[in-house]
Amino acid sequence: MNFNCREANISDMKAVHDLIVELAIYEQEPNEVETTPEELVKLGFELDPPFFKCFVAELNNKIIGTAIVYNAFSTWKGKTVHLEDFIVNKNIRNKGVGGKLFDLVLRYSKNIGAKRLSLNALNWNENAINFYKKRGAKIINGWSIIHISERNIN
């Protein structure tokens, strides 16, 4: 399969959004996606600095995967990168796309001097966990992911 991975551009955001919706359906949370393609454009390309960086994999001019990261800070490590979402179209999985796209994220992290790449995976998503373990990930048990919704921020 002849695909390429690259940094995303504005015109990719509709396809990236479609992949985000696909992920939400896979994770059985289809009604949780509030972002729009327009918001992805604004937050990723029109703000200075942008809120996130996006990479895509494409095959025959069609986006088949994406990785969305943002710069973060660790009081213990310093500069880090957080991989917010990593999505490969379900029909293309297990063909090397994820590995190449993830390598691009790792290169980006190294190039900006990040001391760590952090990410989350659902406990039941053994395929994802095994994918990350093969790449040297350490699974942190005993920590909980905590979200405070918009209505409780005010």
Asked whether residue 3 is domain-assigned, the answer is: no
- Tens of pLDDT, residue by residue over 32-62, are 999 999 999 999 999 999 999 999 999 999 9
Is 48 among the domain residues?
Answer: yes
59 token code pair: 């095959």
Q: Among residues of the chain, what percentage have pLDDT more than 90?
A: 85
Q: Is the pLDDT of residue 1 over 80?
A: no
Residue with tokens 């490969």: 88
Look at residue 125 and tell me if it is in a domain. yes
Q: How crowded is residue 20: how many other Cβ atoms within 10 Å of its Cβ? A: 20
Terminal CA-CA length for the chain:
49
- Of 26, 70, 108, 132, the active-site residue reads 132
pLDDT of residue 40: 98
- Note whether 118 and 79 are within 8 A (CB): no
Q: Is residue 67 part of a domain?
A: yes
Backbone φ and ψ for 145, nearest 5 degrees, come out as -85, 130
140 is a domain residue: no
Answer whether residue 145 shows pLDDT above 80.
yes
Catalytic (active site) residue 108: no
* Domain encompassing residue 116: 8-135
How high is the mean pLDDT of the chain? 94
Is 64 within the bounds of a domain?
yes
Distance CA 55, CA 69 (A): 8
Q: What is the pTM of this model?
A: 0.93
How many other CB atoms are there within 10 angstroms of residue 40's CB atom? 22
In a domain, 143, yes or no: no
Q: What's the domain count of the chain?
A: 1
Q: Is the pLDDT of residue 123 over 80?
A: yes
**Domain presence at residue 126:** yes
Amino acid at 142: G
CATH of the domain at 128: 3.40.630.30
